[in-house]
Chain A
Amino acid sequence: MKSLEDLKRIREEAAKKMTIRDKKDGYRIVVGMATCGITAGARPVLNALAEEVANRDLRNVTVGQVGCMGECALEPIVEVYDPSGTRSTYCHVKASDAKKIIEQHILGGQQVKELLRENFR
């Protein structure tokens, strides 16, 4: 089994990098994880987003979960909060869209227009 000793080492690495940049001035991504989201496929979306962030070693992005946002028919829903606090709501997101959201929005600063909520209403 992956031991807690391994974890200690990974923890030290993570701690070193964290001092370089404060998370507070970064991006926050949240995924709706209530029954509606889970049923529509939110879990692989959350995992894919977290993996993209991990693989690219992005230090200024957090990935979290929220409950039902009241738009069940548009799930899976992903919201991206820019450092300025601006919110983008992406709907019917698939795990395969994670790469695009990270590359285009987080790294490129451009919204992924085709996934925005207004396309689905």
Chain B
Amino acid sequence: MNELSLYILDICENSIHAESKNLYLTIEKSKIKNLLIITIEDDGRGMDKETLNKVSNPFYTTRTTRKVGLGIPLFKELCELCEGSFEIYSEVGKGTTDIAKFKLDSIDLPPLGAIDETLYCLACNEFDCDLHFKYIKDIDGNPKEFSFNTREIKEVLDGIDLSEPSIMMWFKDMVNEGLKELN
């Protein structure tokens, strides 16, 4: 994978498939701290200690269609390659939180890539999990923020599906314009 937004999509899919009602995705880019922090938090079914200890092992997976699970191991490896860290916290019945940190000027840090496509894939999930997205950019000590949540959007849509193509076009424009304004 050559885009950070692909890793984000992959890890967030875990939350969506864990019966979460809400998925909180926060990307924090701080030039001053030379740090990129990606936090993925959900209120899904969570994991017990034993499972938690196994998720970084590529030969562990809960799925039945294949015998390996590479999502978390790949993401963790990328964090470590970029002189950062990967932490995962979870509690049964409460949810799971992943915190990934990267050194912003690491030569191995892939570009964010098409985050609009990733957010669209996440927003249109079929499990009715709401996406709460926040992007914080701090270049000079005055952080700027862009955020949205699909609960508000769904209220306006009033029964019309977010995956409706014309709604999708609006959604991607909304994301791209919102992020552009942070520059």
Contacts and interface: CB of A to CB of B under 8 A. Distances in A.
B140 interface: no
A71 to B, nearest CB: 8
B50 interface: no
B153 interface: yes
Contact of B117 (A6, A44, A55, A62): A44
A63 B120 CA distance: 12
Interface in B1-57: 1, 6, 9-10, 13, 17
Contacts of A62: 161, 163
Interface residues on chain A, size class: 35 or more
Most buried by B among A18, A38, A46, A72: A38
B157 A1 contact: no
A70 B181 contact: no
Interface in B153-172: 153, 156-158, 160-161, 163-170
Main secondary structure on B side of the interface with A:
helix
A52 B156 CA distance: 25
A54 B165 CA distance: 4
B170 A67 contact: no
B152 A4 contact: yes
A43 B163 contact: no
A70 B117 contact: no
Contact of A72 (B66, B146, B181): B66
A68 B71 CA distance: 12
A1 B66 contact: no
A7 B157 contact: yes
Contact of B181 (A1, A33, A53, A64): A1
A36 B118 CA distance: 15
B170 A33 contact: no
Contacts of A1: 146, 174, 177-178, 181
B65 interface: yes
10 contacts: A10-B166, A10-B167, A10-B170, A11-B158, A13-B166, A34-B10, A43-B6, A50-B165, A63-B165, A68-B65
Given A35-B10, A63-B165, 7 more contacts: A1-B178, A7-B156, A7-B170, A35-B69, A35-B70, A43-B118, A65-B124
Closest 9 CB pairs of A and B: A54-B165, A70-B65, A2-B174, A35-B71, A47-B117, A68-B65, A53-B165, A2-B173, A35-B70
Interface of A: 1-2, 4, 6-8, 10-11, 13-15, 18, 33-36, 38-39, 43-44, 46-47, 50-51, 53-55, 57-58, 62-65, 67-70, 72
